[in-house]
A and B are shown apart, each in its own frame.
Chain A
Amino acid sequence: MRIISWPRNAKDSYVNGVELNLTRAKLFRQRITRWDNMASIYLSSRETYPESVNTQRVFELIENLCNEGNDVALFLVQNGVFTCRKKSAQTTFNQLLGKENIKIYADDYSLEERGILPEMIHDAIKPTPISTLAALTMEENRTPIWH
């Protein structure tokens, strides 16, 4: 998945306890220090195939986070909304639909742009205005991650 400057581990941004790069270190801290309760929001902007097979990895990561009891929100936007169609054969995504600790949203604007009607998407997912994304992003302890 594409996360800018994601460290291989938390120690990468430190040498002998000194931060190498303040910007990177802060970005890392915003995520790592919140890993304990891991309330995250993933913004999936790409179709699974053929646009980005990495999206498959994002869904797998989200599934693992859910299995470990973390609270995850997934906001589908742009071509990411193709995935939430009932006819989509994205099996990993479909498995996410049954999880209790994940909320999945689909950007209403992106759906309309692509001619995807509400009845074409899974019942558990509702067309959602971007104001909901703004509110989720600013929630305490929630870390936004774009893919």
Chain B
Amino acid sequence: MSKSLTILLMDPPYESSNTATALRLIEATLNQGHHVNVFAYEGATALTFKHQKGHPNPVKETSIEEEKHPLTKDLIAGLFQLADKNNVNLKWVNCGFCVDERGVGEWEKGPERGGPPQFAKMVNQSDKTLVIATTR
């Protein structure tokens, strides 16, 4: 039977291992047939910013194509595809205030804009909640 997990993320992209762990956990949870809600808060709202670009690596003398720089927007797009494939729901809400402060309000299909009331609703409707706070 499908259950639901809500995760709160706060870390911006390329800042902390927390992001990689969270995305791996979301993938594993979706693969086990559960629904996942994500509330992206503060810097985490930039995870889905559609203008993210890869870069070459002058030290290794690799091009953009060779470097295959992982972009969080693409990883998250992959999670949406996985949810569709597994017939489960992935709901990704970016905090609107945080988005506006950072100018990262453009994203591909999938994420939506919201605020703390949406997070409250997610928590109230889900079986489990995991808060991954920023490490300071």
Contact = CB atoms under 8 A, between A and B. Distances in A.
Interface stretch (A9-17, A65-73, A96-104, A126-134): A126-134
Nearest to A129: B28
Given A137-B130, A143-B128, 6 more contacts: A26-B124, A30-B128, A78-B21, A107-B21, A109-B24, A133-B28
Contacts, number: 73
B130 A130 contact: no
Contact of B123 (A23, A45, A107): A23
Interface residues of B, number: 26
B104 interface: no
Given A27-B123, A78-B18, A138 B32 contact: yes
A4 interface: yes
Interface of B: 3, 5, 8, 17-18, 21, 24-25, 28-29, 31-32, 34, 116, 119-120, 123-124, 127-133, 135
A106 interface: no
Interface residues of A, number: 28
